[in-house]
Amino acid sequence: MKLTDHEQAMLQGDHGPAKARAMDLLLRYGRALGAERLVEVRNVAGTWNAGSPALRPYADESMDRLFSKFNLDSDEVVETPQAEVYTCQLIHGIDTRNNRLMGVPDEAADYQRRAEAFFGRRGVSMFNTCTPYQVGNVPVKGEHCAWMESSAVVYCNAVLGARTNTEGRESTGAASLTGRIPYWGFHVPENRLGTHVLEAEPEVRGIMEWGLFGYHAGEAVGEDIPVLTGRLHQPGLIDLKHFGAAGASSGGIEMYHIPGTTPEAPGLEAALRPGAHERLVYTAADRQRAWENLNHSASSDDVDFVMLGCPHNAIEQVWTAAKLLDGRRVHENTELWIFTPRALKDTADLNGYTEVIERAGGHLLSDTCPAIGRVVPKGTRTVATDSAKQAHYLPAIMGVGCHFGSVAQCVEAAITGRWRGGLA
């Protein structure tokens, strides 16, 4: 790989042992990918957590030991320096302010608090969310980034027009210290052009329909890049957030275009690879099939647990849930957990939304989700959720059945303890 003078100096240890280990990791990584060089990044989103049982022994030795092993792939323990570029923490496994509600021991939460304090002082912004773009991390079109988390990556690429591949804990750790990542994949302009035109015949409007469309899109194109056309109502942040999360779950979508909406698609032809694309149609039968696939695991209409907020809810979604719950009461046999970024949880507290949700018997949580934290209320057999991503993963991860539907259908299930949702 070709290195600049500054990169060579970091590799040689002129800027300290941690950056030397980071450069060694990036070179090994880049060579495995066939990258010819590195690219400068100014924005990193990864994970610096310590709460899981596998990580705690390393944290007991020192946080430097934890960082060296799991963020730099280094058996040599190096002192953790300040981050070189803007860096934030993504979602992790524990809501440290509600760990007992979620059945997570205080000991695990204490480890996570220690990690937050240690890495926070070293320049890692503790956003603790899968949606960093909702709480201030909004890279601009063309900006090179190093982000983890499938739904965040697809939003970064498609909606913001910034450039990232789906990175891991190690590569983001190295990028935070060096401001570098291998130049390959979605950093390369020609790799960002659409491979398929996917035309929607049914009307796509609202987060449930965008979730269904995304779930079909992931199955239809796999890791390729769809250009979406057809009966699409103008989507907002929330719609596109759910589309991307669904497409990254059923397939491997990291990039898509909507002509006239997303920043790299002023028109259809501009979004497509010249002469190298396929045309597909999303039909009413495909919509029905996507809904059935997301609901097939549920064998009972008795709902033990309702989960909203994957990807983490925007403040508008928290407000919507609060309005639907106002003056009502969650069923005695059902738990309702709503997830939002920590910063937006504080906003919901100020706005009075949290009080409305809690008065109804629900809980507003942050920092994690059931699939990442591997936690559901004790005795849960059947879940209702507005998230195609959770409906895809929870049956396999937690051994529960899932109903997928709209926010209103899920709130109604929380109130009645029964699932009555379906396709219109």
What is the pLDDT, as a whole number, of residue 142?
Answer: 98
- Residue whose tokens read 């990169």: 7
How far, in Å, CA of 250 to CA of 246, rounded? Answer: 6
CB 132 within 8 A of CB 92: no
What is the pLDDT, as a whole number, of residue 247?
Answer: 98
* CATH number corresponding to 296-416: 3.30.499.10
What is the pLDDT, as a whole number, of residue 276?
Answer: 73
Map out the domains of the chain as residue ranges: 5-189, 193-293, 296-416
Non-local CB neighbours of 57 within 8 Å, separated by 6+ positions = none
Question: Does 5-189 match 296-416 in CATH topology?
Answer: yes
What is the pLDDT, as a whole number, of residue 27?
Answer: 98
Q: How many other CB atoms are there within 10 angstroms of residue 397's CB atom?
A: 15
What is the pLDDT, as a whole number, of residue 277?
Answer: 81
What is the pLDDT, as a whole number, of residue 275?
Answer: 82
Run means of pLDDT, 10 residues per run, the chain, 424 residues: 97 98 98 97 97 95 98 97 98 96 96 97 98 98 98 98 98 98 98 97 98 98 98 97 98 98 97 90 98 97 98 98 98 98 98 98 98 96 98 97 98 98 89
What is the pLDDT, as a whole number, of residue 287?
Answer: 98
* CATH number corresponding to 5-189: 3.30.499
What is the pLDDT, as a whole number, of residue 93?
Answer: 94
**CB-based burial of residue 240 (10 Å sphere; 0-12 exposed, 13-18 middle, 19+ buried)?**
buried
What is the pLDDT, as a whole number, of residue 16?
Answer: 98
How far, in Å, CA of 275 to CA of 273, rounded? Answer: 6
How far, in Å, CA of 114 to CA of 364, rounded? Answer: 23
